[in-house]
Amino acid sequence: MTDPSFEALPLAAPLHRVLRELDYSVPSPIQAQAIPLLLQGRDLLGCAQTGTGKTASFALPILQAIHDRPRALQPRCCRTLVLTPTRELAIQVGKSFATYGKHIRFSQTLIYGGVGQVPQVNAMRQGVDLLVATPGRLLDLIEQRHVDLSKVEFFVLDEVDRMLDMGFLRDVKKIVALLPAQRQSLFFSATLAPNIVDLARTILRDPAHVSIAPETTTAEKIRQQVCFLNREAKRPLLEQLLWEQSQAGAQKLTIVFSRTKHGANKLAKGLCASGIPADAIHGNKSQAQREKALERFKKGLTPVLVATDVAARGVDVKDVGLVVNFDLPNEPEAYVHRIGRTARAGAEGRAVSFCSEEELEFLRDIEKTIRMPIPRWDDHEWHLETLAQQHGNGRRAQQMQSPSRNGSGQGRRRPRGSSRGGR
Ligand code: AMP
């Protein structure tokens, strides 16, 4: 039997110290598995969602190496490169390194788009121990010769599934081609679809595999519910839920997901007009606006955040007690990511999804992906039993059809276009 405490891991004293200060006593499963392998210098293929403690699982061994083997900085170079799909996640990862590396001497900087490049160029002039970057801006700065990847010792690709969803495959490949062959590489993804495994093969050398919470399971601590209702009933039901939630003490924060940027804006405005302080984050907002909204949310000043999928990635706020899917996502994996915004760090959470008639097909896809029906919540005045029945019938029909997959040529129709939330 292995000792389940952090004390048993051969981490440096300043790291043990910060873990005690943070009150982390037991490593999460991914930390328990990955940290010893990474300390041995192995490459790693990790299948894990956010919320599993994944960031510390790579930050701690990297900080340990920086601590054990300090090196002089080289102009425009970095020892560690962490690639993330979004600015929010880059900021989050940078913050985590700062937290875990509080008692370690190291330098870091962030590179992402949507803001001026001059401070980023200046920060890279002397070189850094750690660079956290999104692919597009990083490539821009490399092409302008402000960044040099030839000295990278540790390379982390975080949330690769999302990176590919956002069309970064070519950029990632270009970046990988610039890395030295001698390096330790870590690859994290919430799903391991064949294209993702193919990419991992081209990057990793004899990797150890660690798999936590595969894509098809959703966090057990989340109480999931679906409401069948008319589109017009979504607003009043949301307001009722938010009012109840505002009485919920410590876990009072709520993230409401909207499929489009326009929808997110409209909803946040409408809620404010009804006396419920709410803010929206999505790709059309400037970086400064998004950060301000997140800060106000974290502090509880605006306890309701209306978000699109991509903008909410990397939002790691402990006191989110409720996630509402005002619109169901048309990509079932997004459902798993969305509800993972609640029940963070061992807390409990609730995820309520609104389903109107146009969204029945999305719901079916989601339930197939998570391999369970979402319990329905009908104890409210807007419940539409006919829709619930229709869904039940659809589900039965689907079960009866599989596994024969009849060749009738009737491809599954996706309702409306595949609008994909804002960036
Ligand atoms: P992550 O999956 O890296 O986004 O981490 C999710 C949350 O869990 C963050 O708020 C971390 O601060 C917290 N966390 C990570 N590891 C531990 C641990 N071993 N014990 C308690 N909390 C943790």
Q: How confident is the model at residue 345 (pLDDT cuts 50, 70, 90)?
A: low
Q: How far is the centre of ligand 1, averaged over its atoms, from the C-alpha of 92 (Å)?
A: 12
Residue 281 Cα to ligand 1 middle (Å): 23
In ligand 1, the atom with minimum distance to the C-alpha of 99 is 12
User: Does residue 254 register a pLDDT over 80?
Assistant: yes
Asked if residue 344 has pLDDT above 60, the reply is: yes
Domains along the chain with CATH numbers: 6-211 (3.40.50.300), 222-422 (3.40.50.300)
> For ligand 1, atom 13, which residue shows the shortest CA distance?
345
Q: Which atom of ligand 1 is nearest to the CA of 92?
A: 4
Q: What are the tens digits of pLDDT across the range 149-161?
A: 999 999 999 999 9
Residues contacting ligand 1 via CB (< 6 Å): 24, 27-28, 31, 50-56, 316, 318, 344-345
Highest mean pLDDT among 126-135, 318-327, 396-405: 126-135
Q: Which atom of ligand 1 is nearest to the CA of 96?
A: 12
Weakest mean pLDDT among 307-316, 354-363, 396-405: 396-405
Asked if residue 99 has pLDDT above 90, the reply is: yes
pTM check: above 0.85: no
Ligand 1 pocket test, candidate residues 26, 54, 315, 316, most atoms within 8 A of CB: 316
pLDDT range class, residue 251, cuts 50, 70, 90: low
pLDDT digits (tens, 9 = 90+) for 4-35: 688 889 999 999 999 999 988 889 889 999 99
Name the more confident of 196 and 146.
Answer: 146
HSE, side-chain direction, 13 A CA sphere, residue 260: 6
pLDDT at 266: 95
User: What pLDDT, on a 0 to 100 scale, did the predictor assign at position 393?
Assistant: 60
Region of residue 256 (phi > 0: left; psi between -120 and 50: alpha; otherwise: beta): beta
**Ligand 1 atom nearest 26 alpha carbon:** 19
The DSSP secondary-structure symbol of 7 reads G
Structural tokens at position 371:
């391999």
Least confident of 8-12, 118-122, 132-136: 8-12
What number does the ligand 1 atom closest to the CA of 28 have? 19
The per-residue pLDDT for 421 is 31
What the block records as the tokens of 169 is 């495959």
Model confidence pLDDT, tens digit, residues 30-71 = 999 999 999 999 999 998 877 788 999 999 999 999 999 999
Condensed to tens digits (0 to 9), the pLDDT of residues 184-229 reads: 999 999 888 888 999 999 999 999 999 875 433 455 678 899 999 9
Query: How many angstroms is it from 299 CA to the middle of ligand 1?
Result: 19
Segment 122-136 shows an average pLDDT of 98
Could you give the angle at which helices 385-401 and 360-370 cross, rounded to 10 degrees? Answer: 50
Query: Which positions ≥6 away from 2 have C-beta within 8 Å?
Result: 8, 32
CA of 98 to the centre of ligand 1 (A): 14
pLDDT digit string, tens, across residues 295-306: 899 888 999 999
Residue 50 CA: nearest ligand 1 atom is 2
Q: pLDDT at position 347, please?
A: 65
Torsion of CA 226, 247, 291, 172, to 10 degrees: -30
Q: What pLDDT is recorded for position 414?
A: 31
At 42, which amino acid appears? Answer: R
Ligand 1: residue whose CA is nearest its atom 16: 53
If one residue of 24, 298, 337 were mutated to test the ligand 1 pocket, choosing by the most ligand atoms within 8 A of its CB, it would be: 24
What pLDDT score does 136 carry? Answer: 96
**Res 410: pLDDT:** 32
